[in-house]
Amino acid sequence: FNTALASAAMFDLAKNVNIFKNAVVNNGVPVDSAAMSEVKRVFKTFTDILGILEDRWTGKKEDASSKDYDDLMQAILDIRQECRAQKQYALADAIRDKLGALGITIEDSPQGARWKK
């Protein structure tokens, strides 16, 4: 099982969703409800396979507590650290860069990685 590849696919999906959201918000592109339902289904499948978010998060922002958010970020940092340990630096950097594009800064230190928004 390639956890790093699975997490990269999740980040790619999130990136494309953000591009679509920006097109809807900024350019008046109509929302494709069927496509968004499929994206939610695929994302849920990813999280189920990876064992993150479990049944606590349904995809609605109002359902996610700050603990859920912290747990998700810790899972992402753990996957990134695993990539670094396996010398998959390009993937670890891609995770950091994609989080940076979302306004989340990763700080590496001898004690481990931390994040801040």
Task: Measure Cα distances from 9 to 66, 69, 83, 86, 113 in Å.
Answer: 24, 19, 14, 18, 22
pLDDT surpasses 60 at 8: yes
pLDDT surpasses 50 at 57: no
The phi and psi torsions of 116 (rounded to 5 degrees) equal: -150, 150
pLDDT surpasses 60 at 31: yes
Predicted TM-score (pTM) of the model is 0.47
Question: For residue 30, what is the DSSP state?
Answer: P
Tens digit of each residue's pLDDT (9 = 90 or more) over 78-114? 899 888 888 988 888 989 888 888 888 899 888 888 8
Half-sphere exposure of 108 (CA within 13 A, CB side): 8
Could you tell me the pLDDT band of residue 54, with boundaries at 50, 70 and 90?
low
Integer Cα distance of 36 and 43 in angstroms: 10
Write down the domain spans for the chain.
3-116
Could you tell me the pLDDT band of residue 28, with boundaries at 50, 70 and 90?
confident
